[in-house]
Amino acid sequence: MYMCDAGDLVDAVVPFMGESISDGTLAQFLKKPGDRVNVDEPIAQIETDKVTIDVASPEAGVIQKPMLLHLKRNQKKGTSQPPPPAEKSEEDKQKPKKVESTSVIEKPKTSSAPPPPKHSATEPRLPPKERERRVPMTRLRKRVATRLKDSQNTFALLTTFNEVDMTNLMKLRSDYKDAFVEKHGVKLGLMSGFVKAFSHSRFALSVAVSGLQNQPIINAVIDGDDIIYRDYVDISIAVGTPKGLVVPVIRNADKMNFAEIEKEINTLAKKASDGTISIDEMAGGSFTISNGGVYGSLLSTPIINPPQSAILGMHSIVSRPMVVGGNIVPRPMMYIALTYDHRLIDGREAVFFLRRIKDVVEDPRKLLLDI
């Protein structure tokens, strides 16, 4: 894209999009011919398979031509005018104009023409094409579809489930939510709007760290004929946005306390919602948490986010009858699921991981005391 000033050209450079992104699609122009723009004001958006990136104007001026985004630098007040329409060449003027017309071809009349076929009672009648809308997939949605299919084709996927009693965790939140806000300035798992998607995943993040530290193979990855064990815990959190799924990463989650985790998730969630999250904030990640429960999912099978080896799925908290001390009582219960690469992780490690999750959620004191 170019910007023009009395014949010289100035490039509106597409910003660096990260090593993993080689191309993008021009999603939309934010300005029209005749619009005035300031320095660093967004004039177009480039859609990649991960994020949408703004292209900023390098100088102030007036947009002159669509598509190329030619722009004339600011002149003296009152001298800026939109460009006149381009004149047609003599060759174009002499070309005959095309006029679309519809011709009617009469079929010979015959009295022996067969009647139109009758639909049988069992033959499906499809709705007319006029009632369908074909919309191209966004690059982000194409990327999600490709990665999910690659995951199915690459990994030996197995899923293990467990059920967790959320009573003590919910009581912990209820008892200390006010003190937590007063101390750290952020809420403990109870937030509005888009950020609410993380309401169950926050504690799960700390819990997952504990589980990964107990079962380090869950945090490892296969690379050719080798197994890479990671001595860090970078947890990805799946976030649904209007444009598709993005996965921001909580770096070094094993070294963060509850307040630090809350603040980092707040920051990344807002960026994901606003569409301003960067490539670096989504790169890497050694393990993923997906929280379908916020949308009402009772049970599902999450798909691994390549090249990771496992993903933890959280689900809705539902009151169910449970046997406690010989009596049937209602308890807030959640199903959790671990999908893992069976080439690397055996069922034993997967079950131990989920048991650790269950233990520390049902008795948070174990997490606080590191036992």
Bridge-based pairing state of the strands 287-291 and 235-237:
parallel
**In terms of Cα–Cα distance, which of 336, 331, 369, 366 is closest to 353?**
336
Tell me which residue of 332, 343, 360 sits closest to 158, measured CA to CA.
343
Tokens of 365: 């004191």
* CA–CA distance, 9 with 359 (Å, rounded to integer): 65
CA max distance for the chain: 95
The verdict on whether 342 is a catalytic residue reads: yes
Among the listed residues 225, 346, 359, 363, the single catalytic one is 346
Q: Which of 61, 6, 5 is nearest to 34 (CA)?
A: 61
Q: Is 70 a catalytic residue?
A: no
In this structure, the number of other CB atoms found within 10 A of the CB of residue 273 comes to 17
- Residues 141 and 296: beta-carbon distance below 8 Å: no
* From 54, 254, 342, 363, active-site residue: 342
> Which amino acid belongs to residue 33?
P
Beta bridge partners of 252: none
- As beta bridge partners, residue 226 has 223
Does residue 285 come out as left (phi exceeding 0), alpha (psi in the -120 to 50 range) or beta?
A: left
Q: 48: how many CB neighbours lie within 10 A of its CB?
A: 20
With a CB cutoff of 8 Å and minimum separation 6, the contacts of 288 are 235, 236, 237, 238, 247, 302, 304, 305, 308, 310, 311, 312
Pairing of strands 52-56, 249-250: unpaired
The torsion defined by the Cα of 293, 299, 301 and 302, in degrees rounded to 10, comes to 10
Per the listing, tokens 């990136």 go with 53
Q: What is the DSSP string of 249-285?
A: EETTGGG--HHHHHHHHHHHHHHHHHT---STTTS--
> Annotated catalytic sites, by residue?
342, 346
